Chains A and B, each alone.
Chain A
Amino acid sequence: MISRNTRDLMSVAFGGLFARKVRTILLLMGPVIGVAAIVAAVGLTDSAKGDLKAKVAQLGTNLIEAKAASSFGSQNPTLPIDAVRRAEQVKTVEKVASVVQLTDIIVSPYPQAKAKYETTPIPVVATDTRLPYVLEVPLTSGRWINASDNENAVRAVVIGSGLANELGYLPGESRTIDLADKPYGVIGVLGKVELDPSLDNAAFISFASADADFIKEDVLPTKLYVRSTAGTEQVTSDALRTAISLGGPKEVATEIKAEALQLAAQSDRQLQLIVASMGLLAIIVGGIGIANVMSISVMQRSTEIGIRRALGHTRRTIAQQFLLEAMVVGFIGGILGVLLGAFAILVGVWLSGWVFVLQTWIPPAGVVLAIVVSIIAGLYPARRAAKLEPLETLRLG
């Protein structure tokens, strides 16, 4: 609850501003233009990368790929058999899926096409039941390989979205394709994997099928897909290398899948800084304007101040009245500036086809900045007003 004296002060300050509309508009110009410039600078540079930012937000930055690195010139490097369990030991790891890239398997939609697909082979990936869950990519049709498929080595295959396109696969269609002359039934289509487009053209089968049909020795994973808890991708990525290899001979290389995208989505900081500094400059110049106009106003209103002092208003009250006027100017100017800045972003977005981005902390920060600058600007005139002697301003006698 504000005190009655504060309410009196506010009515005097608002009354003073409202009574001198032109002067008040002049006072408002500085904070309005300054805040608008800063808001527009940050907002426009952010909005220019808005579509990429939205994509990063949608895909997440926490997908890490850990794959066997070829050390000592080994031809087909693999990860340890218990790589998934080892990766799960890392505290910041949320979920893990493992895959094996199978080589020398000719995939052909029908026997006659085999010759063509020998020259442009379709990659075959053996994987576990968790891959879509870890990639956070849903199936566009059908289902993923389940535990039963894996236990019974069912000849079931899920195809990537690009491959589905190429084969003209219709959702729900019953289709058999040959994997090294073995008939596999298509059970589903994986959606587009934005963070690893190489998977879009792959055919996915269970480890058990790979074991039964293609690989004679143990099936060793060649690659893990890992989701870390948000924001820990770098430390997780580093920890994974050690956690998986455990000092053994098998080397591990990691890659944060969204790193490049994230980099591309970053706003142009330098441009942002330059334009925002110009906005800051505008606010400061506006503040000087406030100090100037208010100082003149104090001189013009010296009689009014003298009267108020004669009527029993203390110096402190007079100073507060002027400071409050400055504060109200900052507050209203800040709000108008944010609105104007947001409007400028909208126009820019509309003209350039960007995506509107305005970080939530910017509008309140803009208003606070305008208020602070205005109060500082109001200090000198308020002090001058408080120092006026009623006897000198009232011309008695």
Chain B
Amino acid sequence: MTEVFSESIPESQAPFLQLTDVSRVYGEEVKVFAMRNVSLSIMPGDFMAIVGPSGSGKSTMLGLLGCLDLPTSGSIKIAGEEITTLDDPSRTRLRGRTIGFVFQQFHLIAHLSALGNVETALLYRGLKPAERREKAMDALERVGLGPRHDHRPVQLSGGEQQRVAIARSLVTDPIIVLADEPTGALDSTNAENVMQIFESLRSSERAVVLVTHDQGVAGRADRKVSMRDGEIVADEYKVLS
């Protein structure tokens, strides 16, 4: 398997997430385009990386893809649903249903155990405590942390914390797992371990999106979207040879 990319697009399907002519402008008087007329479709089964140097619009892209921010203009559809016209509570619930987040700094809640952190993603969904616990345990076992479910973040290594965060992102069964520099705070061994977990998440049921400036991480993806100055400059698929 060599790293060759082509611009061919696989068979057409309904995209999980679709950006159409999206711009994001900051500032009132002096307008700064953080993103300009970007269109992007994230397809089921995608294992993609969004790459670019700092200031390229990656973070803006992450906020928009994660439904944490709204575009100044353009349309964003998640699972066919237009999010720009949704009210805040509906958008929040849609985010909770469809997107799982993994952050560079892990962002676990310090006073909760690993299990409690994973369970946090399942709150306010009408689940029985036992059901919630079972789902959370399953997710932790999936990242190999079942036996350490009662450990608090300070009792876990960075790699373990990130695996808890991955379990938390998976436990809601999202269609998109959105990871922001997931290996950025890890040593190479832990980074490799985390990348292997991400690779194991490839599924036609979901899309995995890694936002990174690390070409090594990007190279592991099947699809690479490159950004520069708020625009997509390349969108390539890895071709197996």
Residue from the list A4, A311, A395 in contact with B127, Cβ < 8 A: A4
**Once the chains bind, are B128 and A396 in contact (CB under 8 Å)?**
no
Residue from the list A15, A19, A307, A315 in contact with B92, Cβ < 8 A: A315
Q: How far is the CA of A390 from the CA of B62 in the complex (A)?
A: 12
**Once the chains bind, are B121 and A312 in contact (CB under 8 Å)?**
yes
Chain A interface size band reads 20 to 34
**Once the chains bind, are B123 and A12 in contact (CB under 8 Å)?**
yes
* Residue from B109, B112, B127 with most neighbouring chain A CB atoms (10 Å): B109
**Once the chains bind, are B111 and A313 in contact (CB under 8 Å)?**
no
| A8-B124, A311-B120 known; A397-B59 Cβ under 8 A | yes
Which chain A positions have C-beta within 8 A of B66?
A: 310
Which chain B positions have C-beta within 8 A of A306?
A: 107
- Name the residue on A nearest B126 (C-beta): A4
Residue from the list B69, B95, B107, B112 in contact with A312, Cβ < 8 A: B95
**Once the chains bind, are A396 and B109 in contact (CB under 8 Å)?**
no
- Name the residue on A nearest B132 (C-beta): A8
Q: Check: B237 CB closer than 8 A to any chain A CB.
A: no
| A8-B124, A391-B69 known; A311-B111 Cβ under 8 A | no
Query: Chain B 128-169 against A: per-residue CB contact (8 Å), 1 yes, 0 no?
Result: 110000000000000000000000000000000000000010
Q: Check: A317 CB closer than 8 A to any chain B CB.
A: yes
Nearest CB on B from A191, distance (A): 65
* Residue from B54, B92, B97, B120 with most neighbouring chain A CB atoms (10 Å): B92
Q: Check: A238 CB closer than 8 A to any chain B CB.
A: no
| A20-B111, A397-B62 known; A312-B92 Cβ under 8 A | yes
Query: Chain B 18-61 against A: per-residue CB contact (8 Å), 1 yes, 0 no?
Result: 00000000000000000000000000000000000010001100
**Once the chains bind, are B101 and A311 in contact (CB under 8 Å)?**
yes
Chain B interface size band reads 35 or more
Q: How far is the CA of A396 from the CA of B58 in the complex (A)?
A: 9
Q: Check: A394 CB closer than 8 A to any chain B CB.
A: yes
A-B contact count (CB 8 A): 85
**Once the chains bind, are B88 and A5 in contact (CB under 8 Å)?**
no
| A312-B92, A396-B103 known; A8-B180 Cβ under 8 A | no
Q: How far is the CA of A306 from the CA of B116 in the complex (A)?
A: 17
Residue from the list A15, A304, A315, A394 in contact with B89, Cβ < 8 A: A315
Q: Check: A314 CB closer than 8 A to any chain B CB.
A: yes
**Once the chains bind, are B124 and A317 in contact (CB under 8 Å)?**
yes
Chain A stretch 319-355: residues in CB contact (< 8 A) with chain B = none
What are 14 inter-chain pairs, A to B, with CB distance below 8 A? A8-B124, A15-B111, A304-B109, A307-B108, A309-B68, A309-B92, A310-B68, A310-B95, A312-B97, A312-B172, A313-B92, A313-B123, A394-B107, A396-B59
8 more A-B residue pairs beyond the given contacts A303-B107, A397-B62, with a C-beta to C-beta distance below 8 A: A15-B112, A306-B107, A311-B96, A311-B120, A311-B172, A313-B96, A317-B124, A394-B103
Residues of B within 8 A of A (CB): 54, 58-59, 62-63, 66, 68-69, 88-89, 92-93, 95-97, 101, 103, 105, 107-112, 116, 120-121, 123-124, 126-129, 168, 172, 180-181, 211
